[in-house]
Amino acid sequence: MTRYVRRFSRTERTLHWANALGFFVLLASGLVLYLPSLSVLVGRRPLVKDVHFWSGIGWVSLLAAIAVLGDRRGLVRTARDVDRFGSDDVRFLLGRRPAPQGRFNAGQKLNTVLTAAFTLLFFVSGMLLWLGERDTRFRLAGTVILHDGLMYVSLLLLVGHLYLAVIHPATRHALRGITLGTVDAEWAARHHAKWTPE
Ligand code: HEM
Ligand code: HEM
């Protein structure tokens, strides 16, 4: 019989899916603002702008609320797991094996750090775009380039992330962890040999 071990707490799963939902809404509304063909098709630019901006505010507030009201101690422990980067992580990224991994592999650690940093940068540059429309002092030369650049890079990350999460046969079992919270103990031992589940 398959034995399952806990991989993600309820707080972590809620945070992941709230983040994903907000990201997709912002990506869709942002693309309507960005691509002329979509802009013309949808029309009502001022409304789309408002939807985009207020979804951004809602997104960041929701993530902060989940982090504050949820299992904070667990999140701090997870952040520590992500923060530790050792020689096995370097070997993993260089494609050298064996490179036994902890709870998160080196790619997942990078993805987490980049996703968190990008969220902050999206927020800051988005606020500057919004304020810049109201007060010229907030109009800085690189803001649009930064906001658009973040979108391109996060799209690339997302394509890789989705491929590993839902298509690649060796890794797609992880989907169970981020939805139901548990994963097959044998799978975990193979992919995360240095991780001891609670
Ligand atoms: C807290 C988060 C965010 C805030 C406050 C925010 C805010 C804004 C604002 C105020 C604009 C300018 C709208 C205009 O004047 O036309 C904008 C544009 C845009 N945003 Fe965001 N945004 C956020 C997150 C995101 C995310 C996560 C994405 C994509 C994944 C995104 C993609 C875009 C795109 C593509 C544009 C159009 C830029 C252009 O016309 O060159 N934004 N955003
Ligand atoms: C339908 C969309 C998505 C699916 C199916 C999905 C699936 C997954 C899965 C299965 C994991 C757990 C991997 C593990 O066992 O460690 C995960 C983790 C994660 N996801 Fe997603 N995800 C989605 C959308 C997103 C989006 C939009 C973002 C960010 C913009 C994101 C960011 C992350 C991060 C940072 C992690 C932790 C590090 C990692 O595993 O790469 N996800 N996701």
| Number of the ligand 2 atom closest to the C-alpha atom of 183 | 15
Q: Determine the distance separating the centroid of ligand 2 and the alpha carbon of 122, expressed in angstroms.
A: 18
Residue with structure tokens 């063909």?
Answer: 37
Kindly calculate the radius of gyration of the chain based on its CA atoms and give it in whole angstroms. 19
- Provide the residue-wise pLDDT of the chain in tens; the chain has 198 residues: 899 999 999 999 999 999 999 999 999 999 999 999 999 999 999 999 999 999 999 999 999 999 999 999 999 999 999 999 999 999 999 999 999 999 999 999 999 999 999 999 999 999 999 999 999 999 999 999 999 999 999 999 999 999 999 999 999 999 999 999 999 999 999 999 999 998
63-81: burial string, b at 16+ Cβ within 10 Å, e else? beebeeebbeeebeebeee
Task: Give the span between the Cα atoms of 182 and 175, in whole angstroms.
Answer: 9
8-189, CATH topology level? Fumarate Reductase Cytochrome B subunit (1.20.950)
Closest-lying ligand 1 atom to the alpha carbon of residue 31: 35
Q: Name the residue ranges covered by the structural domains of the chain.
A: 8-189
184 strand-pairing partners:
4
Q: Distance from the CA of 22 to the center of ligand 1, in angstroms?
A: 12
- Ligand 1 nearest atom to the CA of residue 45, by list position: 16
Confirm whether pTM is higher than 0.85: yes
